[in-house]
Structure 1
């Protein structure tokens, strides 16, 4: 890919850390393979980083905002600091503008990082991540996991086998 990037946004669950549905326990946070090395490489190159994550467990009453914040704090302990965290706490039926595949959180993250969406890569593990990036004008990279559907992989404009491969796409 020929684009120049100023920032890389990441989905949290299934991309940066292992997906534990509705996790409210920081002790259950396990980084995905290569996550720390990928982030260290980006930071060493001066790229800004952020997290964009649907957390419908809050809207569903399964976890509290404080529990999600403590999990996010644990992610930063293990993977280093992010320039922005954008979290959608809404139930899927709420019809908000932030829940992926809507682009609201991608726009908010770009604004917080002072970058243009066109100079932003968004790395995620499902089609909603790709769709949110595309709707915002960012460049999506899908890193499939066992839960990624085959049609999501086929429709993604860019795929990578893991996080390190994804960030190697940045020149």
Structure 2
């Protein structure tokens, strides 16, 4: 199986320091939906692992989060692709869960779902926590410059990190 795991905010859709709290605020980054569809059509299983502490903070409901993910799946399907498993961490940063990145719980859940091994699997993110989660399980850390990516890059990343302008560039490299 060709498995690719993506962070959501800042990789697939525009991010906000004030959180993405509604379906109206969930706006795809140019080329991201098409990239997921192209990867899917090329035989890749594209899964998503996303921290969503806005739920714990009371900024939005689980129903709103699910509506965002449904919309994402629909947009990918409209382009002829299929989105794989979407896992999220609803916990706040101080709750001590095993799923919130930089902990690798969500990546492990995706691997278990697909009965896949994580070493070498590309995990595409825009934050230090994304890269650390990838490294924790032997996955290939991939940084995109969208979202918080430029800021993350300016602070330094592990030498093994692959760097791309955006998700569309990642798709071109893999296809």
Q: The TM-score by the shorter chain falls in which range?
A: 0.7 to 0.9
Equivalent pair of 1:35/1:79 in contact (CA under 8 Å):
no
TM value normalised by structure 2: 0.86
After TM superposition, give the deviation of residue 113 of structure 1 in Å: 2.3
User: Distance in 1 between the 2:60 and 2:160 partners?
Assistant: 31
TM value normalised by structure 1: 0.88
- The structure-2 alpha-carbon separation of the partners of 1:135 and 1:46, relative to structure 1 and needing over 3 Å to count, comes to same
Greater Cα offset, 105-114 or 147-156? 147-156
User: Distance in 1 between the 2:109 and 2:139 partners?
Assistant: 12
Greater Cα offset, 94-103 or 13-22? 13-22
Report SS of the residue matched to 1:27. coil
User: Distance in 1 between the 2:109 and 2:137 partners?
Assistant: 10
Q: Which residue of 2 aligns with 1:13?
A: 9
Report SS of the residue matched to 2:116. coil
Q: Which residue of 2 aligns with 1:108?
A: 109
Provide structure 2 residue ranges, at least 5 long, that are not aligned to the other structure: none
Give the structure with the higher percent helix.
Answer: 1
What is the Cα-based RMSD across aligned positions, in Å? 1.9
Q: How many residues align?
A: 167
